[in-house]
A and B are shown apart, each in its own frame.
Chain A
Amino acid sequence: MGSRSSHAARIPDVDSIRRETGFSQASLLRLYHRFRALDWNEKGYLSRVDLQQIGALAVNPLGDRIIDSFFPDGSLHLDFPGFVRVLARFRPVDDEDNRNRDPKEPEPLNSRMNKLRFAFQLYDLDRDGKISRQEMLQVLRLMVGVQVTEEQLESIADRTVQEADEDGDGAVSFLEFAKSLEKMNIEQKMSIRILK
């Protein structure tokens, strides 16, 4: 149609971000505008507070945990590449990706395993690779608030850990987690499609 949009050129490192995340140019542009809209005082990066101001996220019981996954390792500033990297995990999987993939390259960010890993780290707060009974309880407590008694919650947590735990260590490792969900259509449930 003509030369490339002057707007895409405003995104720093747009080509490497595109390669890494697999988003199309149009999607990246939309996400860039979204990033700028969330960064309402134009700092150039996002802080936790900016994400916490999204009303619909603040009422989500797991809202804080989700925000945490954008700020790994205690960092306080979220720049655009980091923002898109996390969102890339929710990119719908199309078969194109799998067919053209070079097996030597690292797994694409939106693979089934990576989607599972994202969900796993919402449970596994201390990042030790296992969901302990305590961590399970904590997540359950977040999701139900004050509506359920401690005993009920404990029995639910115990049962869930027991069902998924195969090697009997009282905790659910990532592989056990993945195995218990092997029939689940993760690709569909953990995907968000960006409109053109």
Chain B
Amino acid sequence: MERGAKEKNHQLYKPYTNGIIAKDPTSLEEEIKEIRRSGSSKALDNTLEFELSDIFYFCRKGVETIMDDEVTKRFSAEELESWNLLSRTNYNFQYISLRLTVLWGLGVLIRYCFLLPLRIALAFTGISLLVVGTTVVGYLPNGRFKEFLSKHVHLMCYRICVRALTAIITYHDRKNRPRNGGICVANHTSPIDVIILASDGYYAMVGQVHGGLMGVIQRAMVKACPHVWFERSEVKDRHLVAKRLTEHVQDKSKLPILIFPEGTCINNTSVMMFKKGSFEIGATVYPVAIKYDPQFGDAFWNSSKYGMVTYLLRMMTSWAIVCSVWYLPPMTREAEEDAVQFANRVKSAIARQGGLVDLLWDGGLKREKVKDTFKEEQQKLYSKMIVGNHEDRSRS
């Protein structure tokens, strides 16, 4: 099955992101002018001011967003063109034939009774080796031997975990792989991203300290090599976070940091706003684009719907996780750019390479409200239309 699922010639996986409504991309001004022109009984004069009909533009745009908006649909699993025999992706497909149902039943049998136990065994092996291995390495005195061992323990365990998920990964441009003293940024779709990247390179992880199994793993890993784990309270303090990251980055002997600037999992059809924190530090940024092929298994973690364990079970009962990883050439912040512009530049590069939609919206929107500044921009545009011309008229 692995051989059959090897990536074919196409560079990008074809995205099947259809909106549910037909939209024309016209600007506010054009559209309002058109509305007025079509309804105006007056001769076409230049003094376009407020008309009763202007409201139609805002009204329709508003209802359009209720039917379909760019952000909400990024937090549900991507739609497929054709069914891949997983009932979880059965969005709009009807009962077609007995044969298909039998095939599906067979698929369930294979996945749950054959693949799942194999994968769980592998995952168990991988995680316990990681914990034991890194703890053992931690007892050694600091030095080149320790680093060498640590690197190989990490790599080996991540590779076992990759096998446990049957992840078929194609790496592109490995010459651009991140080096010491740099920051690796990637788009975030699921916690598996970490395993995928870490099985091909040796990184320092950044994250919050968790309890439970994750906590055990984190404590073990940090004994072997310096990762950056933050306490929950420290995460809120942006200066502290920036300080620790800067310290880590400036020490050239330390490993490149792996960060996901979106801050939340997106469904791999788009890239959302990057938080500027990691781009203010001034280190070289190595962008990485990760694109999953949804045909074999949907990797997106919808954290409001599934917990971590349910999610992992779903991953292990899919056919396979097929993805492509592109290492993009390193970027640095230019003199006239500020952190936000730099972040956007990196984001566009990643979106372009992965064939994802580049959005300006903040992924945190699914939990918080949007800022008022965006609304003010719309208001400004509209005011210019009605008042700018009004002034001309009163002057003449």
Contact = CB atoms under 8 A, between A and B. Distances in A.
Interface of A: 1-7, 29-31, 33-34, 37-38, 40-41, 51-63, 66, 87, 90, 118-119, 122-123, 139-140, 143-148, 152, 156, 159-160, 164, 172, 177, 180-181, 183-186, 189-195
B81 to A, nearest CB: 14
B56 A190 contact: yes
Contacts of B304: 40-41
Contacts of B68: 34
B382 A61 contact: yes
A24 B69 CA distance: 21
Contacts of B60: 90, 189-192
B52 A2 contact: no
A146 B94 CA distance: 52
Contacts of B383: 143-145, 147-148
Contacts of A41: 304
Interface string B36-75: 0011110000000111111110111111111111111100
B20 A30 contact: yes
Contacts of B59: 62, 66, 118-119, 122, 190
Contact of B375 (A2, A31, A61, A118): A61
B362 to A, nearest CB: 8
Contacts of A118: 59
Interface of B: 18-22, 35, 38-41, 49-56, 58-73, 76, 91-97, 304, 361, 365-366, 369-370, 374-380, 382-384, 386-387, 390
B386 A37 contact: no
Q: Which 9 A-B pairs have the closest CB atoms?
A: A184-B39, A145-B379, A147-B383, A59-B374, A56-B65, A66-B62, A5-B94, A144-B383, A55-B370
Nearest to B73: A37
Contacts of B62: 57, 60, 62-63, 66
Contacts of A145: 375-376, 379-380, 383
Contacts of B66: 38, 51, 54, 57, 66, 87
B245 to A, nearest CB: 29
B105 to A, nearest CB: 16
Contact of A183 (B19, B39, B55, B73): B39
Contacts of B378: 59-61
B358 to A, nearest CB: 16
